[in-house]
Structure 1
Amino acid sequence: MNKTAWASRGSSLPSDRIPSKAQAAQPAKAKGKQKDAGPPKSKDILRLEKLRDDLRKATGTERDPKGGCFCQARMHPLSPYTPICRACGLVLCELNLPQFACPHCGAARLVPAARTALVDALDTQIADTLAREDAERARAVQEARAAQGAFPTLSASASAAASRASTPGPGPDPHPANQTHKVLSLNPKTKRVKVESYTPPAGAAVSGSRAASKEKEKEKEKAKQAAAEPEYRRVPAPPSEVVVSRTQPDAQRPWANVRGLNVTYVPPSRA
Structure 2
Amino acid sequence: MKLVRYGEAGSERPGMVGADGKIRDLSAHVADVAGAALAPQSLAELARIDPATLPPVDGSPRLGPCVSGTGKLICIGLNYSDHAAETGATVPPEPIIFMKATSAIVGPNDDLLIPRGSEKTDWEVELGIIIGKQAKYVSEAEALDCVAGYCIVHDVSERAFQTERSGQWTKGKSCDTFGPTGPWLVTKDEIPDPQNLKMWLTVNGEFMQDGSTKTMVFGASYLVSYLSQFMSLQPGDIISTGTPPGVGMGMKPPRYLKAGDVVELGIEGLGSQRQQVRADG
Please give the range of the TM-score, normalised by the shorter of the 2 chains: under 0.3
TM-score of the superposed pair, with normalisation by structure 2 = 0.18
The structure number with the bigger radius of gyration is 1
Higher helix fraction (1 or 2): 1
Q: Structure 1 length normalisation: TM-score?
A: 0.18
| Greater RCO structure (CA 8 Å; 6+ sep) | 2
